[in-house]
Amino acid sequence: MKANIVLLPGDGIGPEVVSAAVQVLEAVGQHYDHKFVFTEYLIGGSAIDKTGNPLPEETLQACRSADAVLLGAVGGPKWDDPRASVRPEQGLLGLRKGLGVFANLRPVRVHPALIEASPIKSDRLLGVDLIVVRELTGGLYFGQPKKRDWVDGQQRAVDTLEYTENEIERIVDLAFRLARQRRRKVSSVDKANVLESSRLWREVANRVAQRYPDVTLEHVLVDTAAMRLVSVPQSFDVIVTENMFGDILTDEAAVLAGSMGMLPSASLNGQYGGLYEPIHGSAPDIAGQGIANPIGTILSAAMLLRYSLGLEQEARAIEKAVDQAITEGARTRDLGGSLTTTAMTQAIIERLD
């Protein structure tokens, strides 16, 4: 098959890990006789530097007409001035909103050989296989008003946590559908003891659950969920939650998997091609050194093949090659090893069937 894939390398380690994933996709393309056409566009800090805009119109249009989009990361200290009127992260949020990708799937699997790499180092990590379904285009990130003003002679800052029933319904429904292909358990994470938006979330989740009598639903408060994630991670199958809770819990979940560099994600809505990115950021502390772990981005490329191009066998081939490389001891520095980004990528490519 032929597919047009837009690349958004972005900032920091973004270009390093995207280039790694492209090499893997090219190798898969050769093995299976597919033609992946890659076109690169600007986003984030590097887009601000070149155009003054973190999401140039040209980038958004290209992403809308692509079969899929693969993104590295945006942001970094260079653009962190709190008084700046444009920020790299606005580019990413604008892209997610502009593509309407409300469903962000963040699978978390612990490779048995990496239990040692996690600070938890315990059998409780054995067999952990969960997926966080993070609502991505609503909640605190996008609610209005979002502003600064002056009240009683001092500055005030306002963010708004807002959800409509429809926004909750579509993401919770997706979580239930996913649970049917897995262990049939949904943990809906909220803060219903405090937040009105969470009370609505719970009501809607209960309503959706009636359509899935074969799936178990539990409600978990987000603070308890954070605790359970490190103490009894095997108790989770599908976690569904609002935008910011999902952001925070998945960084925590990355600790189970051994490193921030391990986790992939897919952002979907069924309309545009889908946006694929590792869950980590631009890692300014290691950028430019060639030591970033490319696995989160490579596994995001596998998700791209699965969800946007329907290439299940090819997706599995990548996942298997990653598993095998790890089993056989391939480790970047974050996992306690010494392989460079390029060497790790090569180790994975060599193990593709």
Nearer to ligand IPM, 209 or 248 (CB): 248
279 binds ligand IPM, rule: CB under 6 A: yes
Least distance to ligand IPM from the beta carbon of 264, Å?
12
Q: Residue 334 and residue 346: Cα distance in Å, rounded?
A: 17
Nearer to ligand IPM, 314 or 334 (CB): 334
89 binding ligand IPM? (CB under 6 A)? yes
Which strand (E) or helix (H) includes residue 269? none
Contacting residue, 16, 242, 247, 314, with Mg ion by CB under 5 A: 247
Gyration radius from the chain CA atoms: 20
Region 92-111 residues binding ligand IPM, contact defined as CB under 6 A: 92-93
Q: Does the annotation mark 173 as catalytic? A: no
C-alpha–C-alpha distance, residues 69 and 4, integer Å: 9
Whether 33 is a known active-site residue: answer no
Distances (CA, A) of 217 to 58, 60, 336: 43, 37, 38
Q: Pattern 241-260, binding to ligand IPM, x per CB under 6 A?
A: ------x-------------
Helical residues (DSSP H) of 102-232, grouped into ranges: 165-180, 196-209, 222-231
Give the SS3 label for residue 1: coil
Asked whether position 91 contacts ligand NAD by CB under 6 A, the answer is: no
Collapsed DSSP state (helix, strand, coil) of residue 89:
helix
- Closer to ligand NAD by Cβ: residue 168 or 283: 283
In terms of Cβ atoms closer than 10 Å to its own Cβ (0-12, 13-18, 19+), residue 241 is buried
In the bound state with ligand NAD, the residue whose beta carbon lies nearer, of 197 and 265, is 265
Q: Give catalytic status of residue 323 as yes or no.
A: no
User: What is the footprint of ligand NAD within residues 209-268 (CB under 6 A)?
Assistant: 259-261
Amino acid making up residue 242: E
Distance CA 49, CA 129 (A): 40
User: In 67-184, at which residue ranges do the beta strands (DSSP E only) sit?
Assistant: 68-73, 103-109, 129-135, 143-151, 154-160
Annotated binding site for Mg(2+): 223, 247, 251
Binding-site ranges for ligand NAD (CB under 6 A): 13, 17, 73-76, 89, 92, 259-261, 277, 280-286, 292-293, 296, 334
Catalytic residues: 141, 191, 223, 247, 251
Which residues of the shown chain bind ligand IPM in the complex (CB under 6 A)? 75, 89, 92-93, 247, 279, 281
